[in-house]
A and B are shown apart, each in its own frame.
Chain A
Amino acid sequence: MSEAAAQAAPAPAPPPAPAPARARTPAWRRVARWVNPVQLCFGAIFQREMRVSGRQRAVYWQRASLLLLLLLIVGMAYATAAIGRSTEIGISASSGVGQAAAQLQSLQTIAPSLIGTGLWVVYLCAVLMGAITGAPAIAHERRTRTLDAVVGTTLSGAEVVFGHIAARATQIVLIVLLAIPVLLAVRVFGGVEGGLVAAAGAVILSTVILAVTLGVWKSLSTARTTSAANSTMGLLAILAFLPLIWNVLAITRGWPPPPGWFWWLAHPFALGELTSRLYGGVGLAGLGFTISPNFWIGSILTNLAMSVAIAMLAAWRFRPAALSERLVAKAARAAEKRANRRARRAPARPAKAKPASLPPAAATDDAPAPEASASPAPAQDRATRTVGDYPVFWRELRQPGSASFMVKFVTGVAFIVSAYGLHRYDLLAEPETFISISFIALVVIIATAAGGGGASIAGEREARTWGVLLTTRLSRTEILFSKTLGVVRRQGFILVIIAATWLVACLAGAARPITVLHAAMIFAPVVLFLASTGVVLSLIMRKSTAAAAVNLLLAIALWAGAPILLVSIFGLVERYTTGSVDDFFARLLLATNPFYALGVAVEPVGAVGRARYSIPGDGRVGAGAFTAILAGVGTAWTLFAAGVLAIGVRIFNRYAYREF
């Protein structure tokens, strides 16, 4: 190129400037994001969750259902109390003015019980819903594989965690706020202090926030939403009853009573304190507990403080937990190692044949499959277990239970330490210890059986294995019954712990061996019944947590709500009749309520000589008769369970194929 041409040629374009490096967010801004509650709680996660829940019909059904339930209960309580009071007061005034005054007086007496009942219903439902709503937060994202996308954004762990808590708590808070006006409306009857209702509402709301926060926290480290929900409910129960257990020990063993601030953990007692005052009672402080009358304020503050602390812990642990794919891989490697160990231990089988292609018509029953050529790796066949002819049942039996090895190990150690502790303080031989443990065991087994049943089919749906299962030749009866037995089987670990406790109690002389049999006869049908209802609910409902929650509510309604209802109804009937209503009611209760039956079963504990069981109407019966009664009751529950499953089989086609 000539010099002139070179001069005329345009100058080469300068290389493009490198893109400026993205400036790191200043520290003060990051801190500001951390401390800005609006940024933390109402960011992208909150908005997404609210939009999603706003489109779900189930959310509106939940709200409407609770309101309807509340109105129903308030209505029933009103009707019961009004009739009873009218009879009690004896409205004999013939004049209209006198009648109206008597009616007004009656209503003022009724109002506190209406509000108290309503508050407890709202509390139970809201806290349960809080735990169940919070538990799927991260676990669901992990399962649907959207968690990586969230982690890949610039959202901080705190924004994700607080966003989830805020969104999920808002759903439940809305329900509670809808219910409170219904309860306050009862104030028109008079006789109720509005401040107490507001205080009770605050206790409920703070407990809901704690339940949601615990759910989100557990969700971080759990793959299954139902496991997270169960753990959350367990933690809430422990927090709620820890002060009471201490207090019982203090009374029975002369230990120092729990300090007043320790009662702040006990949220149901805070509500109990307030509702007791509604009724004009003396509250827990008046019953001899070392509690400040205003401990409910401490309870609210404790709930909120614990919520913030747990949320901050969850925020701190969010990224490590979210990126813990390596933990999944680690678990898979561990499983592989276990399989290899099994392979080494298992005796070698003859080498299998290996055809070059599929044997023709291999699956037909008539034609035998052709012999296949030798396998290149015969050792590989040795680690596997042989699947039986009922594959769903086979898998259900071999599925890992609700507890991991570590949990089982820790529980076992805790059991031994507890047993030693009880022995050390001479509590082991005391019947009260055995009775308390039996009742706690029944509560635990009901909770776990209800939760396990709910996860059975809905869990398959969530794991996307349900469709494939439906394309097989398995019958609906086989699927439902196998799933039910699987749920029962998964309660095995808890049942073993309970059985071990009873065994220790027997050895220590705190329980008769026959009581262990009776307790087993009470527990087994309950587990079977809840497993069957859980499986059918799991078939009907799309989400495992929803099915588990409804199943648990069913248990509460059957064994807590029904007795209250029966007491109300029979109390009314008794007023107008002079029959053996009490006996009839007690028999009915015995037949339907495992807690009552357990109470009768453990009553003669420690008695000298032959055990006698107080059966209403029949006086006291011997062990043989009581065993026969329990056998009859157990058979009835088992038949109920079979009936529920029969309904499930009947509606199977309607619900099993729904999502396709």
Chain B
Amino acid sequence: MIEIRGLTKRYGSLTAVDGLDLTIGQGEIFGFIGPNGAGKSTTMKVLACLLRKFEGSAKVAGLDVRTHADEIRTMLGYMPDFLGVYDDLTVDEYLQFFASAMRVPRKKRGAIIGSVLELTDLTEKRRSMVSGLSRGMQQRLGVARVLIHEPKVLLLDEPASGLDPRARIEMRALLTELGRMGKSLMVSSHILSELAEMCTSIGIIERGKLMYAGSITDAYSRVSAGERVAVRLEDEAAAPRAVRALEGDERVAGVKPDDKGRLVVTLRPGAHGHHFLLEILLREGARIASFTPLEVKLEDAFLTLTKGAVQ
């Protein structure tokens, strides 16, 4: 649905995006991750046909953003990172305005507005002035706006920024629902845990360069060479013997104590399951207080995959 090849955008001497290649399929929820100034918003603006001068190519549904901007606008919804609203309109008028601007037939506007308001849980605020909405509600109104013409692709730049925890959860649920409806979503965010829960794939960008693009599970596997397990022993005196025994097994890559007094055992890739660790420890007579497989988080993936560029 989205295809970017060799996208480079420069602002004077600053290269905001540097040779970016990216493909997002239909129905995919793509999380776009990167620090501030990495080039996420610039990439989205190119796709939203707001930036005209750039190198490389960018296509939405096979249409070039340079030459088919009008057609792309009909199938794309873009929500910028800072949402400006017409505060002299009611919520209903605001959505009517954009429905009209997107050439939605007049007869259908009422039904569509009703449905997007329900989807975004703003039905009760239909008559309210936009200026009177809370930040979270305005963000949801922004999502309602981009849905008004039933786009196939949604570009949401930091949709959860500035929202309180409840509003974030609601926004996440809303985006997940949109994904279920078969829309392709490109969502940028700093809240990595939220992206991990709803995205089917991610892209990590730093200083304009795409460091990684692919599925989340693939990102995790790249980050951790193998599974990790944290073991806490009741008798610390048994620890050296247990470490020697664990390191003696060919499936174990290494054992290191962490700052919480646990032994963190890293398994070699391909070592399936970790039940054999229990067998080794019990054989050595170690009394186990806790045995916790460690999860790899998106934060770990982000830090590891961007490490080279940061340095």
Interface residues of A (CB under 8 A from B): 328-329, 331-333, 335-336, 339-340, 343, 352-365, 368-372, 375-377, 380-381, 383-392, 394-395, 399-400, 460, 463-474, 653, 657, 660
Contacts and interface: CB of A to CB of B under 8 A. Distances in A.
Contact of A358 (B84, B107, B126, B181): B181
28 contacts: A335-B131, A336-B127, A336-B132, A352-B110, A355-B115, A359-B108, A362-B111, A363-B102, A363-B148, A368-B107, A369-B108, A380-B123, A381-B126, A383-B92, A386-B96, A387-B96, A387-B100, A400-B88, A464-B84, A465-B85, A467-B80, A468-B83, A468-B145, A471-B78, A472-B73, A472-B98, A473-B73, A660-B51
Contacts of B98: 391, 468, 472
Contacts of A331: 131
A344 B107 CA distance: 24
A372 B114 CA distance: 8
A472 B146 CA distance: 10
Contacts of A340: 127
B115 A363 contact: no
B147 interface: yes
A386 B93 CA distance: 7
Interface in B83-140: 83-86, 88-90, 92-93, 96-112, 114-116, 118-119, 123-124, 126-129, 131-132
B50 interface: yes
Contacts of B80: 464, 467-468
A369 B112 contact: yes
B86 A336 contact: no
Given A362-B111, A471-B50, A473-B74, A394 B129 contact: no
A465 B93 CA distance: 15
B100 A354 contact: no
A595 to B, nearest CB: 35
Contacts of A358: 112, 115-116, 119, 147, 150, 181
Given A355-B115, A363-B148, A394-B97, 8 more contacts: A375-B123, A381-B110, A386-B96, A391-B96, A467-B50, A470-B49, A657-B51, A660-B50
Contacts of A467: 50, 80, 84
Contacts, number: 177
B137 to A, nearest CB: 13
B100 A375 contact: no
A394 B100 contact: yes
A479 B86 CA distance: 15
B231 interface: no
A339 B129 contact: yes
A381 B92 contact: yes
Interface of B: 45, 48-52, 70, 73-74, 76-78, 80, 82-86, 88-90, 92-93, 96-112, 114-116, 118-119, 123-124, 126-129, 131-132, 145, 147-150, 181
A394 B106 CA distance: 14
Contact of B45 (A328, A333, A375, A660): A660
B111 A372 contact: yes
Nearest to A364: B150
Contacts of B82: 464
A333 B132 contact: yes
Contacts of B145: 468
A355 B123 contact: no
A355 B148 CA distance: 14
Given A384-B90, A471-B73, A357 B181 contact: yes
A387 B89 CA distance: 11
A44 B186 CA distance: 42
Contacts of B90: 339, 383-384
A336 B181 CA distance: 34
B127 A383 contact: yes
Given A361-B150, A362-B108, A386-B96, A474 B101 contact: yes
Contact of A359 (B74, B111, B123, B124): B111
B85 A359 contact: no
Nearest to A360: B150
B88 A399 contact: yes
Contacts of B74: 363, 473
Contact of B126 (A370, A377, A470, A657): A377
Contacts of B77: 471
Contacts of B50: 467, 470-471, 657, 660
A335 B128 CA distance: 9
A377 B123 CA distance: 8
Contacts of A463: 84, 86
B127 A354 contact: no
A170 to B, nearest CB: 29
Contacts of B45: 660
Q: Which of B70, B100, B114, B148 has the most A CB atoms < 10 Å from its CB?
A: B100
A395 B92 contact: no
Contacts of A474: 101
Nearest to B46: A660
Given A339-B127, A380-B126, A471-B50, A390 B100 contact: yes
Nearest to B45: A660
Q: Which of B74, B108, B109, B119 has the most A CB atoms < 10 Å from its CB?
A: B108
A278 B154 CA distance: 69
Given A468-B84, A660-B50, A473 B102 contact: yes
A465 B84 contact: yes
A391 B86 contact: no
Contacts of B131: 328, 331-332, 335
